[in-house]
Amino acid sequence: MMRLPSYVQKALDKLESGGYEAYVVGGAVRDYLLNKEPNDYDVSTNARPDEVREVFASYRVFDTGIKHGTVSVMIERKMLEITTYRSEEDYEDFRHPKKVTFVRDLDTDLKRRDFTINALAYNRKIIDRVGGIADLKSKIIRAIGDPEERFTEDPLRILRALRFAAELGFTIEPSTAAAVLAHAGLITKVSAERINIELNKLLAAPAAAAITGAYFPVIRVFIPEYRALDPAPHLAALKRLEGFHLRLAAFFLPLGASAPAVMRRLKYSRAAVKKTGFLVDNFSLELSGEEERLVSLLLRYDYRDLIDLIDLRAAYSPRAEDAAAREGLMRLYRERECFRLKDLKIGGRDLLAIGFKEGVGVRLALERILSEVALGKLPNRREALLKRAGEIKKEG
């Protein structure tokens, strides 16, 4: 028996007490059968949206997707989406159906979904109308009904097929795989924001490299800059990387200087673009275990970025000099802990107080002092720093 969180069970009980059917549907049931902890729960019911609102009249209810039959209910401080059984017809924008019809039977609702493994329902027992359990056992991603129709309805399902295959380590069944490649061009109809979400989940998945490599024509549809490039070495490196930000860098590395622009087009955050841009731009940065060189790098670049750069390069080709640089950077950062002006125990006001004139000379003096501290020539103690500042002032 599937153990449900109390807030989910309470929702099912209240709907049934009101005379309606209610089931947990989709990913939560799939994950339970795969012995995974579900991330979230969705409930489907034959109650119409106004009837759901009536059942939960004493709760906070939000019309999050009322047009398509979804209301959200706050139960035990948890938000739960409850959706009326429905059928859909005539997708006008490759996402939203022109016609949504609320229905009273669960079977119709389950058969409108994307993949068999996502069309399972539970309330006291598992309901499987489309062979989802068999496909879970066979480790197969299979579209419900005609895969061409499913992908034409919503082309994002093409990327979702890749993502689920990569996350679960499944294969895509032949007719579904053929439809993925045949209709990949439809992804241009999908918003960048939705592509971003699925692409990130795909790249973070355990089998990301294998699935992305097998279906790379799909990637080239929404990243045409990749059309003349060979992704093989970068996907091989991706397989050896754990951190998502490093996988993202390996994925965009072949694009070189155009990587930031492509990422912005795909609606990545400024922080993600900046991090990836640094790793791409500096992939060939000269590194060594020499202390003076390492200090100069730490004064110029962020410590974490440098470590990430070395780890990214190691996924392509481990180098002895990179390993020595990594060890040296870690030692210096731990011992010195002062590679930015803000880390110094004195600041511009202190220099003005001992006679420096306002202007660029103050910053130049502080940068000189910072360099000496970073090199270990000067302790980061206020008295010592003020004394050195006085000496620099006398030098003129």
Q: C-alpha distances in angstroms, 133 versus 96, 141, 152?
A: 28, 11, 25
The two three-digit tokens of residue 226, written as one number: 């990749």
The two three-digit tokens of residue 58, written as one number: 């004493």
Clarify whether residues 307 and 358 are in a common domain: no
Give the chain's mean pLDDT.
93
Clarify whether residues 325 and 349 are in a common domain: no
Burial of 342 (0-12, 13-18, 19+ CB in 10 A): exposed
Residues 331-356 have a mean pLDDT of 92
State the pLDDT at residue 337.
Answer: 82
Query: String of b and e for 350-387 (b: at least 16 CB within 10 Å)?
Result: bbeeeebeeeeebeebbeebbebbbeeebebeeeebbe
Clarify whether residues 310 and 371 are in a common domain: no
Clarify whether residues 307 and 380 are in a common domain: no
Clarify whether residues 4 and 48 are in a common domain: yes
Whether 109 has a pLDDT exceeding 80, the answer reads yes
Confidence of residue 93 (pLDDT cuts 50, 70, 90): low
Strand ranges, E, within the chain: 22-25, 42-45, 60-65, 70-75, 78-84, 86-91, 97-102, 120-122, 126-128, 140-141, 171-172
State the pLDDT at residue 288.
Answer: 84
What distance in Å separates the CA atoms of residue 24 and residue 33, rounded to the nearest whole number?
A: 13
336/235: higher pLDDT = 235
Burial of 23 (0-12, 13-18, 19+ CB in 10 A): buried
Cβ atoms of 137 and 148 closer than 8 Å: no
State the pLDDT at residue 89.
Answer: 60
Q: Among 24, 8, 80, 20, which Cα is nearest to 48's? A: 20
Per DSSP, the residues of 174-209 read: HHHHHHHHHTGGGGGGS-HHHHHHHHHHHHHSTTHH
Strands 60-65 and 70-75: antiparallel
Whether 348 has a pLDDT exceeding 70, the answer reads yes
Is there a domain that residue 92 lies in?
A: yes
The predicted-structure confidence for 221-263, as pLDDT tens digits, reads as follows: 999 999 989 999 999 999 999 999 999 999 999 999 999 999 9
The number of distinct structural domains making up the chain is: 3
The predicted-structure confidence for 282-293, as pLDDT tens digits, reads as follows: 999 998 888 999
In the beta sheet, which residues pair with residue 25?
A: 42, 121
Domain boundary among 138, 160, 183: 138
Host domain of residue 391: 342-395
Whether 99 has a pLDDT exceeding 90, the answer reads no
Clarify whether residues 332 and 346 are in a common domain: no
Confidence of residue 90 (pLDDT cuts 50, 70, 90): low
Is there a domain that residue 170 lies in?
A: no
Is there a domain that residue 332 lies in?
A: yes
Whether 102 has a pLDDT exceeding 90, the answer reads no
Is there a domain that residue 118 lies in?
A: yes
Whether 343 has a pLDDT exceeding 90, the answer reads yes
State the pLDDT at residue 63.
Answer: 87
Is there a domain that residue 113 lies in?
A: yes
State the pLDDT at residue 139.
Answer: 98
Whether 91 has a pLDDT exceeding 70, the answer reads no
Is there a domain that residue 74 lies in?
A: yes
The predicted-structure confidence for 145-157, as pLDDT tens digits, reads as follows: 999 999 999 999 9
Clarify whether residues 295 and 391 are in a common domain: no
Clarify whether residues 359 and 304 are in a common domain: no
Whether 105 has a pLDDT exceeding 70, the answer reads yes
What distance in Å separates the CA atoms of residue 44 and residue 35, rounded to the nearest whole number?
A: 22
Domain boundary among 94, 112, 138: 138
Whether 77 has a pLDDT exceeding 70, the answer reads yes
Is there a domain that residue 190 lies in?
A: no
Is there a domain that residue 103 lies in?
A: yes
Whether 97 has a pLDDT exceeding 60, the answer reads no
Domain boundary among 114, 138, 162: 138
The predicted-structure confidence for 16-67, as pLDDT tens digits, reads as follows: 999 999 999 999 999 999 999 998 999 999 999 999 999 999 999 998 777 7
Clarify whether residues 14 and 46 are in a common domain: yes
200/289: higher pLDDT = 200
User: Rounded to two decimals, what is the model's pTM?
Assistant: 0.87
What distance in Å separates the CA atoms of residue 128 and residue 126, rounded to the nearest whole number?
A: 6
CATH number, domain containing residue 80:
3.30.460.10
Clarify whether residues 301 and 386 are in a common domain: no
Confidence of residue 395 (pLDDT cuts 50, 70, 90): confident
Clarify whether residues 359 and 326 are in a common domain: no
The two three-digit tokens of residue 194, written as one number: 């939705």
